[in-house]
Structure 1
Amino acid sequence: MKTKLYVLYGGKSVEHEVSLKTAVTVLLSIDETRYEVYPVYISRDGLWCTPGHLSKEDLTVERLIAEPAFHDPARSIGEILSGVMALPGPKVVLPLLHGSNGEDGTVQGLLELLNVPYVGNGVLASALTLDKAMSKQVLAQADIQQTEYKVCRFEEWRTNEEAVLRDVEHLIGYPCYVKPASLGSSIGISRCLNRGELLTGIREAFYYDNKLVIEREVVGREIQVAVIGNERPLASLPGEFIHDHTFFNYESKYMDKRLTMSIPAKLADGLTQRIRELAIRAYQAHGCEGLARVDFFLGREGDLFLNEINALPGFTNFSMYPVMWERTDGTAYSELIEKLIGHAIARHKNKQTLQYTR
């Protein structure tokens, strides 16, 4: 009997389009001799539905989008859970939901209650890694170096804008970056050179989140590492994008056709191994399982700062995460998906040994 593979994509998130692009690539790479694939689309309003069987021959982003039959989130989710995901036989879920309401532990909590294996990080690790402010506390506890930063909540900003601006200028300085605490794909991020830009950047970021992280700029290179595994994770060779953007924002990240990857990144002797070890330390400190991409800043003086951990990195066939593995150990894209499914099933099997009664 084939294993039923439920692929969740879309989502109530500003990273909705990124999820759709990821889903197309993943669905085209699934081995249908082993898996019976059930695509599940989650609309921008959080409604669940399915487009039904999708042929690989004409699979596009547009074909992935379905019209929900029910416009109440609870009923739409209930219909999918009872009518699609309750089918008998072995099953595994592949969540391809970037950002809020998918990468933050919410969907993971639902899948835990359903007691089904699912690819990627669990509830706590997903929540910690998406929330940059909480992640920074974990990294500090693990004694992993970061750049100077300040966390700003909306209530603090609403009641005393001037004090927040003074704090940033005194503690962080310019240039600085303003980031929504719980978003990815560089959405809502601003690089600020003066008070006027800082004011604009903070106001824009609060459209996306009620908590912000404001960081000092590190002038240098951004180095990335792919990590995979559960109890004994492995780190890939480091990589970096070669580009001439001062600020690597959403448009430059996803629309600049001139971007090139350098894998392995050209680093001084000993630094490659140090970065791989730090990536695993950070991964384990957050309790990650399955996969994550760990991003570092390498300053001009050789200082290494951990920037952030992405629990569901970009996963198209030209994204950094799968390409780093292909150039590290020859793992092809479809093989990487198989490995991740294997880690999901192994983790779930291990959890079934736990006792919930006395």
Structure 2
Amino acid sequence: MINTYLLCGGPSSEHEIALRSALNISKNLDKNKYNLKIVYIDKKGRFSKAYDFINTDDEFELVKECKENILESISDFLLELKDKDKENTIIIPCVHGTYGEDGTIQGFLDAIDIAYIGNGLLSSSVCMDKVTANDIFEKNKLKQARYLYANEESFDLDFAKKCEEYIKFPMIVKPSANGSSVGVNKAENIDDLLKFGKESLKYDEKILVEEAIIGQEVEIAIIGDNKLIASKPGAYVTDHIFLDYDAKYFDKSTKEMLPYPMDEKLEKDLLEFAKKCYKACGCQGFARVDIFLKDNEFYINEINTFPGFTPTSFFARLCKISFDLEFSQILDMLIEEGFKSFQKRRFK
């Protein structure tokens, strides 16, 4: 039996989504292979004691006991791991957004020499910071929307005029590092840009202003490190200019297309483009690559290094329709990849 710790929650705006993802993971993980323990991280970033899996359909019931037993110190969590065989222990860091996808948890787990699934510190932090990721895409000549960025000090009317000249309206204004499209808006003019830029700065110290690509956004699930497998594309069809938080989770008019129908040659080229983006950012384990499709041209949007694993999330469903893999089999693969990455990190 592999000692498996499922970390869930976290301080980001995606806390509840992370709990729903964790519930789905916990229900599908093969209990004959894995000795599963749940560790809740509250919105202040505090860890709970580790508890046995609770069979429930309620994500809040899943962590109810954990919530009541928040540890005074992270050292108490370390004591839980102290006597575990490191060759037979792995962490599933199901924490979306800040703290989970920005490299924080990955760096912590690297420091204490414990295996975990998914991307490492560097690729997590690179992909979380959209400005850094865009710079990498640009250096690798991977097509994307025109963009400029600013911080609180440099965001002013002069910056807005530069955006108007270089990018042209309409534009998408977003925090450089945040998830689930929170704080993202479309600017039609300079007044909008100044207003929405200030709003985005509430969520992050940097903002990114991008050309609004009027096309279909598609999502591709990728698994692997050196040898990659990429799923067929999936898409949400919506009337929204971009797939914001409300459109993703609450708008009943948003329709799913799994898979998204494409010409065979175009789809093959799309998947190769997705792999190039994945490799450019040094991704490992798995990720979801989001790409805009316009006039048969591809524009990289972003890479999600720990995408949602709720029952309605695309990643596992794309793997099912593309490779006929059940979610339990996908989790087996991700854990196997996690141990491989752990061995590489340990013996560099």
TM-score interval (norm. to shorter): over 0.9
Identity of aligned residues (%): 30
What corresponds to 1:96 in structure 2? 94
Amino acid in structure 2 at the alignment position of 1:313? P
C-alpha displacement of 1:253: 0.4
State the distance in 2 between where 1:336 and 1:32 align.
15
For structure 2, list consecutive stretches of 5 or more residues without a partner in the other structure.
none
User: SS at 1:223's partner residue?
Assistant: strand
Q: Deviations over 1:144-183 (max 9, x none)?
A: 00111111111212xxx11111111111121111110011
Q: Does the 8 Å contact 1:47/1:77 carry over to 2?
A: yes
Counterparts in 2 of 1:331 and 1:260: CA distance versus 1, 3 Å: farther
Amino acid in structure 2 at the alignment position of 1:5? T
Q: Which among 259, 263, 266 is matched to residue 268 of structure 1?
A: 263
Q: Does the 8 Å contact 1:181/1:211 carry over to 2?
A: yes
What corresponds to 2:279 in structure 1? 284
Amino acid in structure 2 at the alignment position of 1:85? L
Counterparts in 2 of 1:120 and 1:237: CA distance versus 1, 3 Å: same
What corresponds to 2:224 in structure 1? 229
Normalised to the residue count of structure 1, the TM-score between the two structures is 0.92
State the distance in 1 between where 2:56 and 2:263 align.
46
C-alpha displacement of 1:319: 0.7
C-alpha displacement of 1:235: 0.9
C-alpha displacement of 1:59: 4.5
C-alpha displacement of 1:268: 3.1
What corresponds to 1:350 in structure 2? 344
C-alpha displacement of 1:285: 1.0
What corresponds to 1:12 in structure 2? 11
Q: How does 1:133-282 map to 2 (within 5 A)?
A: 133-157=131-155, 161-282=156-277
Matched, 1:32 2:31: yes
Matched, 1:23 2:22: yes
State the distance in 2 between where 1:222 and 1:253 align.
12
Amino acid in structure 2 at the alignment position of 1:287? G
Amino acid in structure 2 at the alignment position of 1:23? A
C-alpha displacement of 1:303: 2.4
C-alpha displacement of 1:68: 6.1
Q: Does the 8 Å contact 1:21/1:316 carry over to 2?
A: yes
Q: Does the 8 Å contact 1:68/1:76 carry over to 2?
A: no
Q: Deviations over 1:50-105 (max 9, x none)?
A: 3622421465324415336567xxx52111111x2224232100001111111111
What corresponds to 2:323 in structure 1? 329
State the distance in 2 between where 1:194 and 1:51 align.
51
User: SS at 2:115's partner residue?
Assistant: coil
Counterparts in 2 of 1:70 and 1:224: CA distance versus 1, 3 Å: closer
State the distance in 2 between where 1:255 and 1:51 align.
32
What corresponds to 1:76 in structure 2? 73
What corresponds to 1:50 in structure 2? 49
Amino acid in structure 2 at the alignment position of 1:21? R
C-alpha displacement of 1:261: 2.5
Q: Does the 8 Å contact 2:49/2:70 carry over to 1?
A: no
State the distance in 2 between where 1:196 and 1:180 align.
18
Normalised to the residue count of structure 2, the TM-score between the two structures is 0.94
Amino acid in structure 2 at the alignment position of 1:67? K
Q: Does the 8 Å contact 2:23/2:62 carry over to 1?
A: no
Aligned CA RMSD, in angstroms, stands at 1.7
Q: Does the 8 Å contact 1:317/1:333 carry over to 2?
A: no
For structure 1, list consecutive stretches of 5 or more residues without a partner in the other structure.
none
C-alpha displacement of 1:44: 0.8
What corresponds to 2:124 in structure 1? 126
C-alpha displacement of 1:284: 0.9
State the distance in 1 between where 2:199 and 2:344 align.
44
Counterparts in 2 of 1:194 and 1:58: CA distance versus 1, 3 Å: closer
State the distance in 2 between where 1:316 and 1:287 align.
25
Q: Does the 8 Å contact 2:54/2:62 carry over to 1?
A: no
User: SS at 1:340's partner residue?
Assistant: helix
